[in-house]
Amino acid sequence: MEQNDTPQTEQTAAPAETMPSMEEMLKAAELKAQEHYDAWMYAKAEGENIRRRAADDVSKAQKFAVERFSNEMLAVMDSLQAGMSVQTENIESFKSGMELTMKQLSSVFDKFNIKEINPIGEKLDPHKHQAIGMIESEQEANTVVSVMQKGYSLNDRVMRPALVMVAKAKD
């Protein structure tokens, strides 16, 4: 019988040794919690970095959005300055130079989809025109008769409305 009692004590002792103590379980849980916390902090920091980089990109895009347009406008400025420095009494050559510069400016406007609003003969459109007065005319009421200042749009969005005079209703 003694032989039977000895193996039983070994069998009961073996499960006690493989079962982790409460301290070991607590330590393992704390390590796992720390791993999760570290992963969360890393993800949070990465998210903040992405937001910061995106904000920087937007800021740079806004800051340099007109760079290409500005470079094109420099050529127009150069032409104007060159025209101003020419010593000539011939008004026709001066006018010719101004016309070339206007063509150059129109070309820049076309490249950047800036369109002129010159609405003579059109019905008044408050989205594109600003009426500054009414005059008697043979045209239908609220028809643009004259343009005091041309308007401009950029990609179909009005940058500046045209200042216009419109036909007065006939009595």
Give helix 67-85 / helix 91-111 axis angle, nearest 10°.
180
**What CATH code is carried by the domain that includes residue 148?**
2.30.22.10
Question: Quick check: is 21 in a domain?
Answer: no
How many domains, the chain? 1
Q: What is the mean pLDDT of residues 1-22?
A: 60
| Half-sphere exposure in the Cβ direction for 117 (13 Å, CA) | 26
Residue 4 reports pLDDT greater than 80: no
Give residue 155's domain range.
Answer: 114-171
Question: Quick check: is 126 in a domain?
Answer: yes
Question: Quick check: is 134 in a domain?
Answer: yes
Question: Quick check: is 50 in a domain?
Answer: no
Contact 143, 99 (CB under 8 A): no
Question: Quick check: is 147 in a domain?
Answer: yes
Q: What is the mean pLDDT of residues 37-61?
A: 95
* pLDDT tens per residue across span 88-129: 778 888 888 889 999 999 999 999 999 999 999 999 999 999
Sign of the CA dihedral with 125 first, then 126, 128, and 134 last: positive
CA 55 to chain centroid: 11
Question: Quick check: is 98 in a domain?
Answer: no
Contact 139, 121 (CB under 8 A): yes
Q: What is the mean pLDDT of residues 28-54?
A: 97
Residue 146 is predicted with a pLDDT of: 95
Question: Quick check: is 149 in a domain?
Answer: yes
Question: Quick check: is 152 in a domain?
Answer: yes
